[in-house]
């Protein structure tokens, strides 16, 4: 959770990488000592509400997917 919060602050330019590194060290130290650490308790940024689906289209054919499924079955059957 801590690293996700700092990653968000870096990519949204709220902190530089160097600032985030120093703040991370402080937050992790506090967390390890059992002190209050907001960065570890919850996401500190709002999550998007919709419009987050992946617009990409799969390129694997049903035949390819079936072959992969059969291979997985073979691997697990070989373990028995």
Asked whether residue 33 carries a pLDDT value surpassing 80, the answer given is yes
pLDDT value at residue 80: 66
The range of the structural domain enclosing residue 42 comes to 1-46
The pLDDT of 2-19, averaged and rounded, is 97
The answer to whether the predicted template modeling score (pTM) of the entire model surpasses 0.85 is: no
Query: Does 12 fall in a domain?
Result: yes
Instruction: Please state the domain count of the chain.
Output: 1
Cα first-last separation, the chain: 39
Percentage of the chain lying above the pLDDT 90 cut: 79
Asked whether residue 77 carries a pLDDT value surpassing 90, the answer given is no
Query: Does 22 fall in a domain?
Result: yes
DSSP-derived 3-state class of residue 75: helix
Distance of CA 68 to the CA centre of its chain: 26
- What are φ and ψ of residue 28, in 5° steps? -65, -40
CA separation (Å) from 67 to 44, 57, 59, 61, 75?
43, 20, 14, 10, 12
């Amino acid at each position: 959770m801590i690293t996700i919060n700092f990653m968000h602050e870096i990519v949204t330019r709220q902190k530089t990488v160097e600032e985030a590194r120093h703040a991370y060290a402080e937050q992790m130290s506090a967390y390890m000592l059992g002190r209050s650490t907001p960065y570890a308790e919850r996401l500190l940024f709002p999550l998007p509400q919709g419009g987050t689906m992946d617009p990409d289209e799969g390129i694997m054919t049903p035949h390819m997917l079936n072959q992969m499924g059969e291979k997985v079955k073979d691997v697990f059957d070989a373990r028995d």
